[in-house]
Every structure is written in C-alpha cells, then in structure tokens.
Amino acid sequence: MMRQASLAAWLIAIVVVSVMVAMMCSWRAPGLGLYLRDRLVQARGPLTPPDDIVLVVIDETSIARYGRFPWQRGLTARALDTISSSQPKAIALDVLYSEPTVATDDNDLADSIKRAGNAVVAAQITEIIDQSGAPAVRWLRPLAQIENAAAGVGHANVSTEADGEARTLSLRKADDHAQALWSIAVETIRVGEGVRGPSVRDVAGGVILGLRTIPVEPDVPAPHFAPRQTNVPVDTLRADRMSIDYVGPPGSFSHQTFSFAELLDGHVAPQSLRGKYVLIGATAATLGDHVTTPFTHADGTAGEQHGELMPGVEVLANAVNTILRSRFYSDTPEWLAVLLAALVAAAVMGSLAIAQGQFEGVKQLGVLFGLLAIILATSYFVFVHWLIVPPLVPALLSFATAVPLALLRRSLRTSADLDTRITELTSANELLLLSTERPASSLSSNPATLIAHLTGSEAVAVYLESRRGGRYRLVASHGTIVAPTLTEDEISLEVSGAQVAPHYSITGGSPLGTKDSAETIPAHEFEQDNSIRRNRQLTLRLGHDGRSRGALLLRHLPQHVRSETLRLCVEIATSFIANLADETGSSALAPLSRWQLPRGVEWKARALGVLSRRLLARARFVDRALRAVEDGLVVADISGRIAFANPRAAEILGIPERALVGSDLFQRLAETEHQGAADDFEVDRIARETLMRLIIGRGAVEREITVGEAPRRYYTLRLAAVMSADDGAGDILGLVAALSDVTQQHELQEMKTDVMALVTHELLTPLTAIQGMSEVLAQFEVQEERRREMHLAINDEAKRLSHMITEYMDITKLESGAHPLRLLPVRLTPLIERVLLLLNPLAAQRDIRIVRHLAPDLPLLLADADLMAQALTNLIANAIKYSPVKTEITVEARDAGGSLLVEVSDHGYGISADALPRIFEKFYRVPNVEDTDVPGTGLGLALVREIVELHGGRVTVHSEPGVGSTFSVRLPLAPKDL
Ligand code: ADP
C-alpha cells in the first residue's frame, strides 16, 4: 500500500516536472519550435509546384540584354502588354515604381497597367527619419498615375525573422498614420478572383478573402497606431501573419518561370500565361532582397545543397500558392501541448517499467528509441497530412526530462531496496553461528574468562592487531582493568605459529598434525623466563605461520602453570581473534531508518563486503565442522543427487569426495554394500522405499550396512529429510545420510553371542555329563571296570572342556587384538615339516599316508611362526580326522606369484554343499554320520581363518562329499597392512 502510494507520488512528480520543464523551455525559446517546424518541412521535402502561377522575372539574362536595372518603364509596359494579351488571371508587379522617371515612360506603364485591368502594383513600407528627427514608418507608394491605373496595390514587404528566414507573410501592413495595405499576394488573388476591395476584412482568427478565410497566427500582439494628434482616437490594427507553406527550395517554380528577355522575344506562348497568376519580379542576384526559407541549407533528394537564398518574387509565389491551395498550418493549442507532454512523460515511465528482466539495458534503450520514433513519426504524419504543426518541442523536452528522472527514480528505488536487503542480512545475524555481537555480560562466551579459569590468572586480556600493524587493541578482558592498547615491545614472549601447531588437539592432548606440538614449546623456554614468572605477567603473541595477529596477556599468573595449559589458552585466544577478524567493519552495518535517503554506492560495497566476508567465514566454519565430524556425512537433494560428502564418507564409500558430489546417493550406497555390483532394479526399489519413508512418512530411516569382506566393517546408516522448519513440517529441502562405524559394537555383540553359545551349548553338555557321572560315582557302588571307564570319560570331557576354552580364548585374543602378531621372516618348508612330524603319530594311528609336494626354494614369509604352525596343524589334523583309514592326504606348498599357496587335500568324507559356507563359523560341526565319534570343538577352522586373515591372506575350501576336500591357504609375500 505504502509502496504504491509512493510510486504514484513519484509518477505524478515526474510528470509534473517534465511538463513544466517542457513548457517553460518551449515558451522561453520559441526558436526551437520554428527550427523543428523547418525540419518537418525539410523532412516532407518539395511538393509538386502548381501550374497556375507563372513567374516573369528580371534575371541575369534580361539584365545582360537590356542593361542595368531600372530599365526604361516603356520596356516594362511592352512586356505587360504582351502578358495581358494572353489573358492571365491576375498580374502582380512585384517591382516598386515610386520614383518618377521620364514622363512618357511613366505614362506608358500606367497605360499598359490600365489596359491590363487586372494588374496589382507594389508598395513598400520603410523606416525614415522625419523632419523632427524622430524615426517614422512611411509608405513608399507607386506613382499616383500608376497606382490609379492598377486594379490593386499591395505591400511587397517580406518579413524575416531573427535568423533571416521568411516563414510568415504579413497579410497587412500599416504606417504610422494607420494607412494599411494588404499584402500584394492577397491583392493579386483578390483581383484574380474578382473580389471587391472592401470585402477583404478581418474576422476573429482570420482574414476573409472572397470565399476563403485565411487563418492568422494567434499570438501576435496587435500594434497600436497612435497618431501624433491627440484628438484622433487610437486605432488598433491586427498584424495578421500567415505561415507560408513553401513548395520547395528556390527554383521550384523554374518550369513556370520566364525571363523578360524570353517574353519580349516572343518565346513565351500565350497559352502558358492564360488564366494564370503572373508574378513579375526580380531574381537577378544583384536585385532586390533574397531571404532564407526552411529549405535553405537542407540536403536535396539527390544530395545537392540548396544553399541559395530565395528572391522576393518566389516568396510571393509561395505565399500566393499557400492561399490558393489553402495550405494553412494550424498550431495546436497550449492545453494540447501540456497534455501531450504529460502523456509522453507517462509513456516513458510506463515503457521503462515494462522493459525489465533479461537484457534490461538493451530493452530499455529499445523502448525509449521506440517511443521517440513514435513521437517523431506521429508528428511527421500529422504535419504532412493535415498540416498541423505538432507540439514537438514540449513532447521532446518532456521525453528528455522524463527519461533521466525515471531512471533516477529507478536507481534510487533499487538503491533503497539494496539497503533493505543489506539490513535484512544484517539483522539475520543470529542465524550465523559465530556472531561476536553477544551481550558483553555473557561471561561464558568471553574467552578471557575461560583462559583466566584455566590458568588461574587474576587478569587476562586478548588483543587484536590493528590493520596497520604494530599496535594491538583490547578485544576481550577478564579481571582488573588492563591497558586498552598494547605495543609491539610489550609482547614478552614469542610463540610463533610453528610453535603453536594449528592442529593442537584439546581433548586428546596428542597433536593431530605431523608436528609434535608437545615439543614445540619446550618446557625449558618457560622456565628460562623465570623473571617473567616472578612478575607474574606473561604476554604471548598470537598467530600462525609467523604472522602476528594479536596478543594474549596473563597477569598474576600462578607459579605452576603447565605449558600445555598455556598452549591451550593460546589456541583459544587465536581462534577467538580469527573469528573476530572476520567481523571487522560490522559497525558499518547500522540499520537504516525508514525515511532516510538510500545510502551511497561505496557504503553498499563496504557493507556487502563485510556481510559476504562474514557469510564466507560462517560457510567455511560450517564446512570445516562438517568435515571434521568423525561420522561419514552425505547431503543430497531430494532426488538423491549428492551435494556434499565429508572425507570420512568418501573413505567409507571408497570413492573420492569429488567423484561423490553429483552422483546418486542410493546407487553409491548399494554399490558399497554389494561391492560395486549393484542391481539397478534393487537400487530403485531401495530408493523408492527409503524416499517413501522419509518424505511421506516423515520419519528417519536407520539400517546397518556391511562394507568389505576382509576385514568386514559395519556401519549404521541413518537417513533423514532436511526440513525447512524445525517441527517436521515445511518443505523438504534434501536428504542427509550419516554413516557411523559400529564395527566394534558389532564385534562385541558377536562375541557375546559366541560366549552365550559356548556356555549354553558347548560347556554345559560336557559339564552335565561330568556332573552326572561324578554323582553316580559318589552315590552308587559301581563296578571296578565301569568306574574306570567313567573316570576316563570324566577326564576326557574335562580335557575337551579345557581344550575348547583354550581354543576359544585363543581366537578371542586374536580377534580383539590382545595377541599382537610377532612377525618374523619364516621359511615355510621346515615349518610344515615340523607340523607333520608332530602329527605323524595321529596319521599312523589311522594308517594314513601323507604326501608332500613342497617346492624347494620358497621365498621367506613374514609371519608369526607359532600361529602359522597352529593354523596348518588344524588343517592337516582335520584332513587326518575326517578321512577313512588307509587313505592318503597331500600337503602342497608353492609360490603363486606374489603369494604363497599351501594346499591340504584329502580323500575323506567331504563336506556337503549346504554345510560348506558354515564350516568356518565358531562351534560349527558338520552333522556327519561317519565322523560322529571324532572329537572336536568346531573352533579349529575359525581359528585358521582368523590367523590367515591376520596375515592378510585368505583361506578357501573345495569339497565334494565322498570324494575329498582341499583347503587352500593363500598368504601374501609382502603383507600390506602389517
Ligand atoms: P572340529 O573341531 O570339529 O574339527 P573344525 O572347525 O576344525 O572343528 O571343523 C569344523 C567341521 O568341518 C568339522 O566338524 C568337520 O565336520 C568339517 N571338516 C573340517 N575339515 C574337514 C575335512 N578335511 N574333511 C571333511 N570335513 C571336514
């Protein structure tokens, strides 16, 4: 509402100002209007000259023939006779015959004029100095006999304006004695049309001439003719002026122009004069006045210059033509000019308002030029077709005023809008996390207070280096008032950037960076500064990379502050001033009151600079913070396109950060879960289900994903929608996925399950047996033989229990990392030989032959010899245990290009396909009829796998029931991660 009112006020103001400027200028400088009218006439160009006006001229040829002018009047009389014999409509003699010459000549001329009967003669008004010495205006009339013989007498004055241009014709002129004469043009037409003299008269707005009314220019002041004699009443005559519509530049009548010489030589055919207006006058350059016309100096159609002036007789011809053809210019009234000026101003603003958006500059230029073209074209059209002289000056001036004003208004409004945006941004500061514009009383946010608590100092001050350097100003303090500024010399201890490692970890106490910061501020350095300690004041320089940024002052420092504590304080203070530096210039962002003028461009640039610096600092901080999160973090848009991924996420998904951004989140997750082989259909299904739950259900999605094989890692994937509002409402802006490593928890859980299985199943069964038998032994008399058996059974079960517990403990120790590998170069062949030697009795018991295929020069293996021997023992013992008697087993070891391969094959019972995937699980035993009595724990193969994987290798099995089994152990020669 407010905005619309101000817009309307602006609009009206601009229109009013434009109209005022336009009208003032056009009133003050009427020449502008005349100039533009001339331009319109020029633009229109020459018209077809009329054929009812003929000029008979005293030109250069005639002068050459008959000598210098004035000629003998008898010559003119002859010419006049020739003309009148061809019966023209009227003859105008635009030559002054006011001086008497030879009487016969004068009479000759008067006679021929009389004979002609339709000749009009010229009089002229001149300024003279009368007898009293005062200037006076008098008529120079023709000789009495000539005037009496003529059908009319008209004034032949050509009135020119300041620029020498004859734009108008004075229809009537008068001398001091109010003796008025109509123009010779009027008189000629009057005579030509046979109108009686007195019927030519003034009426309101024009002069009546026969049937036509000649309109006159309205605003010409009427001169007062006050005769010297006071008793004569004042007569008021209107100075009637009519604009001449020029047919064209000088020479436009040339096809109807004859020279005197031609005429007297009889070269002019009588019919070319019959019924026409014949105007007699001088065109020779040496004779008479020549005036400028609207066509003067204008380019002709063929590019020629019409620089010549126009002789009086041609002006007369144009004037006669204007009256005859009624080509009268009509001026527009003032109110219309005002209205048009206002319309133009409004149109300028309207079109500028429309031309916005893309390519604004070009569009605006376009509409402005368009508007200008419309104004000019319309003006041209109305001038050419209806002879209306348009108010071009007010229109153009209004245009020229409205354009800059409208542009100024727009720039002011944009400027004010920008100010508002800046103010909004400034006031949105609370959104920005690290704002330092907190209330001063907030102690918790004051780093000086925190440092004081940490060190036990009584007074702490943090200084920020001023922009010019060398001086430091107080930015935070705690305790007794300290100096507001500090100079370079007052800093007592250099703690350079290299010494205060930027990656100092506060929580762990151990540096995260490569440099050991615990050593970078040697403790002795502080101890050497005992003098400072005695004063109990310490001033530390703050900053990284040798660049000083501020200082930390600690006063009344207790004797025993650890250097780690000091380093922590330096870090806190440095972080504080780093954030503070981004805030400098904030004072420039003072909010703007509503009615103030828009601020300057420089202020805006400065304010935007401060704001963008602040926003960038926030963005950097948030970015750093997200990157520092220990969990993998992925932010995606609603379609799953990844917009951000932190380094941890990249590590978990096994794809570089850069490659992650822009790719599909669900695809990536599926690939990670299925080791690169993601089924598109499956991906789509998961994506759909997840999105349904997140977006429609507005809930979080949480599930566990497994990544990798050996070692396998477990992550909890939490997907949530990013909402525009906090309460779960609002638009969904995107998705955020967090991946937390839960491998440890997972392993702990597994271990718990194992222990439960061990206790409930594997331990309880033998214990129940032992318990049962020992109860029988205690309560009943048992036969000697039976008792021995029972004792043996109890012993066996106990041994099995202890064996199982030992084996279980071994695996658990290995899994939890409690048993560190003792890696040494090991020769595999002797190791296998030793294992076989120990297993020989077992093999001999079952009459099983062991075949060795051990490659002679196997490379050294980096391994824990005891564990490796244990693993091989378990494999070979299994082969012996699970083979029928009198069979053969093969132990093979060979170099398999970069790794060593040990294979144990037997021709035993084999393992069924459904049991095969489970045999490496703890406590799993294949339910086989053949080997039910074979003692075992189901832990042997689990231990084998754990040992082999700890060495970076892999154990695989190939087995066919009834044919035999082959266990292959592949060990890398140069284990990567060991
Ligand atoms: P156990 O202590 O029972 O031997 P293992 O973990 O060593 O436990 O073996 C698990 C199961 O795998 C055994 O119970 C057995 O059924 C099967 N198995 C292991 N090695 C062989 C083999 N060489 N031939 C056939 N079956 C085997």
At 257, phi and psi to the nearest 5?
Answer: -110, 130
Confidence category of residue 432, pLDDT binned at 50, 70, 90 = low
Residue nearest to atom 9 of ligand 1 (CA): 938
> How far does residue 541's CA lie from ligand 1's centre (Å)?
70
800-844, pLDDT tens digit by residue? 888 888 888 888 888 878 888 888 999 999 999 999 999 999 999
Beta strands in 550-602 (DSSP E): 550-555
557-576, pLDDT tens digit by residue? 787 778 888 888 888 888 88
Cβ(808) – ligand 1 distance below 6 Å: no
> How far does residue 874's CA lie from ligand 1's centre (Å)?
9
Cβ(909) – ligand 1 distance below 6 Å: yes
352-370, pLDDT tens digit by residue? 888 888 888 899 999 999 9
Cβ(926) – ligand 1 distance below 6 Å: yes
What CA–CA distances, in Å, run from 735 to 131, 625, 639, 762? 111, 18, 9, 48
The model scores a pTM over 0.85: no
> Any alpha helices (H) in 94-197, and if so which ranges?
103-116, 144-149, 184-192
Mutate to test the pocket of ligand 1, among 811, 888, 919 (most ligand atoms within 8 A of CB): 919
Report the amino acid identity of residue 948.
V
Distance CA 649, CA 657 (A): 8
How many Cβ atoms are within 10 Å of 102's Cβ, its own excluded?
11
Token pair, residue 677, equals: 């082989």
Looking at residue 268, what DSSP letter applies? S
> How far does residue 954's CA lie from ligand 1's centre (Å)?
18
> How far does residue 906's CA lie from ligand 1's centre (Å)?
12
Q: CA 139 from chain center: how many Å? A: 78
Instruction: Count CA atoms within 13 Å of residue 632 on its CB side.
Output: 26
Based on C-alpha coordinates, what's the Rg of the chain? 60
How high is the mean pLDDT of the chain? 83
Strands across the sheet with 964-972, in order? 849-854, 888-895, 899-905, 964-972, 954-960
Q: What is the pLDDT of residue 355?
A: 86
Q: Provide the sign of the torsion angle of the four alpha carbons 657, 660, 661, 665, taken in this order.
A: negative
828, exposed or middle or buried, with CB in 10 Å at 0-12, 13-18, 19+? buried
Token pair, residue 162, equals: 């300041």
Residue nearest to atom 23 of ligand 1 (CA): 879
Mean pLDDT of 229-235: 52
Candidates 568, 375, 549, 587; CA nearest to 453 is 568
Atom of ligand 1 nearest to the CA of 924: 10
Residue nearest to atom 8 of ligand 1 (CA): 938
Q: What is the pLDDT of residue 817?
A: 80
Candidates 542, 456, 453, 531; CA nearest to 495 is 542
Report the amino acid identity of residue 113.
I
Is the Cβ–Cβ distance between 774 and 793 less than 8 Å? no
Distance CA 483, CA 478 (A): 12
Tokens 């977006």 -> residue? 695
Mutate to test the pocket of ligand 1, among 878, 891, 921 (most ligand atoms within 8 A of CB): 878
- Is residue 502 reached through a cis peptide bond, with omega within 30 degrees of 0 on the bond before it? no
Mutate to test the pocket of ligand 1, among 848, 883, 925 (most ligand atoms within 8 A of CB): 925
Confidence category of residue 495, pLDDT binned at 50, 70, 90 = very low
Distance CA 561, CA 79 (A): 134
How many Cβ atoms are within 10 Å of 936's Cβ, its own excluded?
18
Question: Is residue 190 predicted with pLDDT exceeding 80?
Answer: yes
297-335, pLDDT tens digit by residue? 655 555 555 567 899 999 999 999 999 999 999 888 899
Tell me the angle at which helices 865-881 and 828-845 cross, rounded to the nearest 10 degrees. Answer: 30
Cβ(941) – ligand 1 distance below 6 Å: yes
> How far does residue 146's CA lie from ligand 1's centre (Å)?
156
777, exposed or middle or buried, with CB in 10 Å at 0-12, 13-18, 19+? middle
Residues forming a β-bridge with 701: 719
Distance CA 907, CA 966 (A): 9
Cβ(938) – ligand 1 distance below 6 Å: yes
Is the Cβ–Cβ distance between 862 and 822 less than 8 Å? no
Q: What is the pLDDT of residue 977?
A: 45
Distance CA 28, CA 41 (A): 23
Nearest-5° Cα angle at 217, 215 to 223: 115
Cβ(904) – ligand 1 distance below 6 Å: no
Is the Cβ–Cβ distance between 22 and 395 less than 8 Å? yes
Candidates 742, 940, 809, 14; CA nearest to 406 is 14
> How far does residue 927's CA lie from ligand 1's centre (Å)?
10
Confidence category of residue 682, pLDDT binned at 50, 70, 90 = confident
Confidence category of residue 966, pLDDT binned at 50, 70, 90 = very high
Residue nearest to atom 19 of ligand 1 (CA): 878
Torsion over CA of 653, 656, 659 and 663, rounded to 10 degrees? 20
Residue nearest to atom 27 of ligand 1 (CA): 882
Distance CA 12, CA 17 (A): 8
Candidates 271, 400, 261; CA nearest to 341 is 400
Mutate to test the pocket of ligand 1, among 875, 876, 882 (most ligand atoms within 8 A of CB): 882
Distance CA 437, CA 429 (A): 9
Cβ(928) – ligand 1 distance below 6 Å: yes
Cβ(911) – ligand 1 distance below 6 Å: yes
Cβ(919) – ligand 1 distance below 6 Å: yes
Cβ(889) – ligand 1 distance below 6 Å: no
> How far does residue 882's CA lie from ligand 1's centre (Å)?
7
